[in-house]
A and B are shown apart, each in its own frame.
Chain A
């Protein structure tokens, strides 16, 4: 007998990347609007059935970055760190890849199982932008799905990648950005200290936490201060 498998995915992306349209395409009318715990930011959730999977889709707030400077960004990254969704789909505006990828890079650094949905391909093409999708996918080490969400194109391909990712349970984390000798030395020092702490290394990817500390991330510093009592 086949068991219905349940997976959770999160939708991330910049504002105006067509995230809401992708969310609607995936979940249709099966949506539920609530609040993120403790704050009054709207939280949209929906479900979607595909190939025997029940996929819970969580719409993260639209953000450009994952710093601690706004509540939206903190919500988005806390969800990814704490709930560990089976896949994170980053909706990238294909006509503005350069800026949109800044978020993707940060998601990759968190070690999330990432899928890049390259949305609004038609607009990119009409501007004469040619994107080498397979090369992009190869260089980042994640699946890249071209989409035109406003014409409902690419949803099936996206669902396929989501299911494939949930099935294979591949270890993500191939991505590693080189920050240069000086920074890498400091990252390594902190990373080692973090790895020695069982609780911290279980909760956070050590390299990510080290980078966050060097960014002077207030949320992370606060967590470390509070927890030590």
Chain B
């Protein structure tokens, strides 16, 4: 008995069934199962004749409303960032003081190179990254809350209608929101999308969703240059990311990835009060990645940056690349170096500045010091933040795109097109903005 005969028998059966039912056997089988279940329910389940309108349904009337829902989603997102800021300030000050003290103490270590290594390299570089652990964790806590209470599924539902217009659907939305945490697991989460072109589009636009590693950059410069509108400026970064993702999805679906998008029914789980344990576990699962990164890859890169700086090799590298960024307003070698190393991991942008400008002022003023030393205006800082948002997410994201698409074509494409768009957007911000100042 060969297996080929079984497959032939299968084809005969399928043809026969199709002629009998005028439908695919698959549908008939599914119907039979549903029929069985509904019979089973008649014997085992009693529901009230008229189901009380549940609290869930009443809340949904508002949250899933066509226009109000969108407004509420944006308002909640804005609230999340405000919360992240307000609540993390005292914690950041505390960490800042701790590292400032450590850096001061390290300064007196001899020989001088060791003091510089520990003070500037480790405490300045890694410390400046670790300082942003509180906002990152608080952002994840807020996202975990929205996810666990069932709101995120509503947001997906609201977005579904909009997503259809850009050739995607609500199922792409969850991986995109997960991208606010980290693009790597977010890209893995696209596996639930059945249609291959939908999935590839969702993967390719995911890097525009501003991940937690980019948050330190925004906070650093928003704090230094936009004191009274920090929350708004950071929110605008996320908004730019979302707008770019939307445009790119539209473009991709009309060009490289043309074709119909899949259909599916969005499901709305009931609202639940999240458990504290659940929230803490979800926050920790996502947040610990940053602690591990700070201790490993960030540490290694910052040490490399310090070494290159200490030996005088860093400045020539920076000067060679810097002219590329001149039309963008941040053509200083320090900025160029920070961006080059930021390719490896976005936190390193801050870590590099921390190593280069670590001084007696303390880390809390790092943004001010950078602004002063490089003679940046708020406009330049804004363009720099936008460039950091858009250009190559990080090596880990490129690696996961390579793995998930099983080719080098798409990761290479991502690197190329994100750098190009980042450069253009930052250039436009600087050039057009300069006309008004």
Contact = CB atoms under 8 A, between A and B. Distances in A.
A, B assembled together: yes
Interface of A: 15-16, 20-21, 24, 39-42, 69-72, 95, 97-98, 101-102, 105-106, 123, 127-132, 135-136, 139-140, 150, 177-180, 182-183, 186, 189-190, 193-194, 196-197, 200, 211, 213-216, 221, 224-225, 227-228
Nearest to B46: A130
B52 A189 contact: no
B295 to A, nearest CB: 19
B26 A216 contact: yes
A216 B40 contact: no
Contact of A228 (B4, B29, B188): B4
Contacts of A102: 33-34, 37
B40 A139 contact: yes
Contacts of B32: 177-180, 183
Nearest to B274: A150
Contacts of B48: 127-128
Nearest to B40: A139
Interface in B1-34: 1-7, 9-10, 13-14, 16-17, 20-21, 24-26, 28-29, 32-34
Contacts of B7: 213, 221, 224-225
Contacts of A211: 29
25 contacts: A16-B270, A20-B278, A40-B188, A40-B191, A40-B404, A70-B191, A98-B41, A106-B33, A127-B48, A127-B54, A129-B46, A129-B47, A136-B44, A139-B43, A177-B33, A180-B28, A183-B17, A186-B16, A190-B9, A196-B1, A197-B6, A211-B29, A214-B29, A224-B6, A227-B3
Contacts of A130: 45-47
A182 B21 contact: yes
B93 interface: no
B5 A98 contact: no
Nearest to B153: A16
Contacts of A123: 270
Nearest 10 CB-CB pairings of A with B: A16-B269, A186-B13, A128-B48, A228-B3, A130-B46, A213-B10, A136-B44, A214-B25, A132-B44, A224-B3
Contacts of B43: 132, 135, 139
B164 interface: no
Nearest to B400: A40
A127 B44 contact: no
B37 A101 contact: yes
Contact of B28 (A15, A69, A70, A183): A183
Contacts of A214: 10, 13-14, 17, 25-26, 29
B434 interface: no
A122 B395 CA distance: 47
B277 A129 contact: no
A113 B275 CA distance: 31
Contacts of B404: 40
B436 interface: no
Given A132-B43, A193-B9, A216 B24 contact: yes
Contacts of A70: 191-192, 194
Interface in B265-297: 267, 269-270, 272, 275, 277-278, 281
B18 to A, nearest CB: 11
Contacts of A135: 43-44
A21 B7 CA distance: 42
Among B3, B34, B267, B275: residue with most chain A CB under 10 A: B3
B52 to A, nearest CB: 7
A177 B36 contact: yes
Contacts of B269: 15-16
B229 interface: no
B403 A21 contact: no
B266 to A, nearest CB: 12
B192 A129 contact: no
Contact of A182 (B20, B51, B267): B20
Contact of B194 (A69, A150, A182, A213): A69
B108 interface: no
B28 to A, nearest CB: 6
A194 to B, nearest CB: 6
Contacts of B46: 129-130, 132
A85 B188 CA distance: 26
Given A40-B188, A98-B38, A140-B40, A127 B51 contact: yes
A186 B52 contact: no
A47 B29 CA distance: 37
Nearest to A192: B9
A227 B25 CA distance: 25
A214 B30 CA distance: 11
A175 to B, nearest CB: 10
Contacts of A182: 17, 20-21
A189 B192 contact: no
A2 B54 CA distance: 52
Contacts of A128: 47-48, 51-52
Contacts of A131: 44-45
B26 A21 contact: no
